[in-house]
Amino acid sequence: MYLVTVLGNLLIVLAVGSDPRLHTPMYFFLCNLSLADIGFISTTVPKMIVDILTHSRAVSYAGCLVQMSFLILFGCMDGMLLTVMAYDRFVAICHPLHYTVIVNPRLCGSLVLVSFLLSLLDSQLHNLTALQFTRFKDVEISNFFCDPSQVLNLACSDSFTNNMVMYLVGAMSGLLPVCGIFFSYRKIISSVLRLPSLCEKYKAFSTCGPHLVVVGLFYGTAFGAYLGSAVSRSPRDVAVASVMYAVVTPMLNPFIYSLRNKDIKSALRRLLSGTS
């Protein structure tokens, strides 16, 4: 699954980079999403594979904080980029005549940079909270990686302060992107429903289909994992839910965007055949 995820996302990046016809904002954001997915899954699965081969699940205190930091960084990047892609679809459908003026290369670069900086801030706020711990040894976490929701519960300092920080960064990394996506699609649906013909409505909705599926998978599995960890005390249930959003979702994203996208499929064929 790890190799399929990395290979699938790298193929999308190479296909978009090698085909000038795909040098558009939508595919630029898709490339960044693919790179974030590679980083996201690479923070957990390689360590898990080593643990399986060595029959040891131990991780150092510093290693746990580093893994948690990169996990939150790339996970938050996924959410931010999905929000940016929703805004891109909003401008393309609701303001098509001004699309090239509004979503220009400078704005695209700025949106990706802001997404990265906000994600970095989110991950460092988690780490600053975790650094309040006393150093611990032989603490068991019921997951295959240093899950932030479980690591932060091991804090030996004031739990109220830790909870406030968790809710704050959780709102920044989860609630704000969801609100942005919801606002964009509310405007998109309202605009599409005013189109005169069914053919135009279908064409408009079809450009949003893969993005909506990825949003549903990412946030559905992520919220399910965190709500499940709060409700269920079974380590197996927590681990299965975590696998869904940390491993399965990044693996499915390339297939979702390529199977129904003629441009991506054509670019992949040209890339693999070596033609231009």
pTM, two decimals, is 0.85
Residues 6+ apart with CB under 8 A from 161: none
Residues 6+ apart with CB under 8 A from 177: 79, 80, 82, 83
Q: Is the dihedral of CA 125, 127, 130, 134 positive or negative?
A: negative
Total structural domains in the chain?
Answer: 1
> Among the listed ranges 51-55, 85-89, 260-264, which one has the minimum average pLDDT value?
260-264
Tokens of 186: 């509310």
Q: 179 is in which domain, residue-wise?
A: 2-273
Residues 6+ apart with CB under 8 A from 251: 1, 4, 5, 8, 41
Task: State the helix-helix crossing angle for 249-259 and 209-231, rounded to 10 degrees.
Answer: 160
pLDDT tier, 139 (very low <50, low <70, confident <90, very high otherwise): low
Tens-place pLDDT, residues 91-106: 988 888 899 999 999 9
CATH number at residue 120: 1.20.1070.10
- DSSP E strand stretches across the chain: none
Tens-place pLDDT, residues 174-188: 778 888 888 988 888
